[in-house]
A and B are shown apart, each in its own frame.
Chain A
Amino acid sequence: MTESTPPGNLPAVNRFGRLESSTQLVTLLVTVALLLTVALAGAAVPFTRATVTRTQNKVAYGQITGGKGKTRPANQGDIVGASNYVLTESESRAELQYDDGSVVRIGQNTIFSFEADSRTLSLKEGTFTFFVPRGQGAGTIKTASLTAAITGTTGKVSRDTIAVLAGEVTLIPSGRKVGAGEFARMMPDGRILIARFDPARAIDGALMAFNGPMPGFDELRLLPGRRFQLAMPDTSDFDALQRAQNLPATLQRTRILIPRPPNGNQPGPMPNPPDPVPPNPY
């Protein structure tokens, strides 16, 4: 026996069937997106630890236990954990390298730390430069006054400033974008200024050359604009015609005259031949 469906119900079933298919499609897409997100998140290597690849003068790292900080001198090859913080004194600098290839260069008089899972680079005092390679997962830059999301970015950071040398950062929570060649700064009045910096000065700073050139900083991408700053036009070129053709001396010399009207009304023909001594047209 074959089960048949009343013809009158067919549209309803089909309609229901389409709805069901749409729902399933949306569910499938969401699931795939979630899986991709999880997969990508899984691909992001947490900032669990970093290797000290170079130090200069007095650099220490440690952790706070029981409200007290306990530090030890940092040397090249030491492993700094996510629970640690890094301290530098005057004229002291350090470079850290993470497992995903990210690089952080810490300036003098700086207190720096990082969080593993959220891949957050935190600055309490001082300065650092950073390079987070593309495709290695998102991260966050946190300072006393600014927080920004990063993905594949190179930049400079101080307490109130994040300058982007390559890539882009997104300020949190405003969502404002700061692109390569721009910086975000918390102004004294609480306003966040986003503006361009002079690309010719992007390479300035001891950290940019500390332990070699800053990775991820494609100088040529940013610097072609170094002399390409907005300027006003030079209009002196347009004076030539006026000077050479149209000044009184030229007009006198070339004997170009407004012929006197013969009857006082209509202009007459050009004098031919010209007067031996041209009268002054003025």
Chain B
Amino acid sequence: MRFLPPFALLVLCALVGAQAGEMSSNQSAKEIEDIGVIEEMDANALGGKPSFRSNVQIRSEFSTNAKQTGNHGSGDLIFFPQIEVGFNTPLRHNFAFDIAAKVESGIYTQEQDRGFIGYSIISTLDWRPKINWPRIYVGAEPYRYDSFDTGERITQAVGLTAGTDWGYGFNKGYSLVFAGYSFTNYFSDPTSDSRTQNRAIVGLTHQFSSKMVGTVFYQFTYSDFENVDRRDYRHLLGANLTYQFTQKVFGSVSSTFADNDSSADFASFQAFSLSLGVTVQF
């Protein structure tokens, strides 16, 4: 399977976005001084001020191939508790920087010796040239996973990512249809895990009320391993509902179905997940 080089896609998206943007404000400086800027809200914007966030989430996922033997009868229910803290700040010239540290764990109901704990730090530099234009970003993510049972390191890697996404708001800005693409190269230890990954996502987000937002999405991920003869194709279908309890506290419930098809049969599996999360943002 071949994908467009990331750079070509970024240029393509930027050109499409350039035509889609709509200038809605021609306010004078004095008007702005007296009544502020009144312009169409950027449906993609993350907010105009630096913000911290912390997130606690528990996800339960049923995997059909927990033993990784190619036997899809070896299903298991896995719990993924997760804690994340993050910081986001806008920068000059429409750049923004986001960094998040995450600790997550996998607790198996039956195959308990497979339990693991993972650590990762994701840093992302965003750039959106103008309102309603596509977001272009680069990111770096070092991660490490250790076995609960033996304490040994399972794998570690640094992923370098370039990507773009673009959302088009409609329905007076209450709905957003979005699409995105990213390319990641994972430099892993052991090197057998090194791989390139192409991801494409499409979805729809709708604000049902001033406090509730729902999202449905589909993501396709193609992974090509550099040092072993293996290619993975993952289809992820998800739905999410987020509710704002207070100005700073959000709750979310999500459900996903993942179909991981691999050229190595024993690495194929399907998984269904349900998650609950609480985010505090300040």
Contact = CB atoms under 8 A, between A and B. Distances in A.
A251 B234 contact: no
A206 interface: yes
Nearest to B215: A233
A241 B34 contact: no
Given A205-B34, A250-B154, A235 B192 contact: no
Interface in B171-207: 172-176, 178, 180, 188, 190, 192-193, 199, 201, 203, 205, 207
B247 interface: yes
Q: Which of B31, B192, B217 has the most CB of A within 10 A?
A: B31
Interface in B115-129: 116, 118, 122
A106 B256 CA distance: 53
Contact of B244 (A202, A228, A243): A228
B269 interface: yes
A172 interface: no
A227 interface: yes
A232 B167 contact: yes
A237 interface: yes
Interface stretch (A36-44, A68-76, A253-261): A253-261
A245 B106 contact: yes
A198 B42 contact: yes
A240 B205 contact: no
Interface residues of B, number: 101
Contact of B193 (A198, A241, A247): A247
Interface string A43-72: 000000000000000000000000000000
B31 to A, nearest CB: 5
A108 B41 contact: no
B66 to A, nearest CB: 8
Contact of B154 (A199, A226, A249): A249
A108 B264 contact: no
A227 B275 CA distance: 22
Interface centre among A224, A230, A254 (most CB of B within 10 A): A230
Of the four ranges (under 10, 10 to 19, 20 to 34, 35 or more), the interface on chain A belongs to 35 or more
Contacts of B145: 240, 243-244
Contact of A254 (B43, B68, B229): B68
Given A198-B42, A228-B211, A108 B33 contact: yes
B271 interface: yes
B11 interface: no
A238 B69 contact: no
Residue from the set B35, B114, B167, B256 with the largest chain A CB neighbour count within 10 Å? B35
B215 A156 contact: no
A206 B45 CA distance: 25
Interface in A202-241: 202-208, 220, 223-233, 235-238, 240-241
B7 interface: no
A237 B100 CA distance: 12
Given A196-B40, A205-B34, 5 more contacts: A156-B35, A208-B35, A237-B57, A243-B118, A250-B155
Interface of A: 90, 93, 107-109, 126-127, 129, 156-158, 160-161, 163, 181-183, 185, 187-188, 193-208, 220, 223-233, 235-238, 240-254, 256-258, 270, 280-282
13 contacts: A163-B38, A185-B24, A187-B24, A188-B26, A198-B45, A225-B210, A230-B175, A237-B57, A241-B80, A246-B260, A250-B155, A254-B114, A256-B69
The 3 tightest CB contacts between A and B, nearest first, are A204-B36, A107-B34, A205-B36
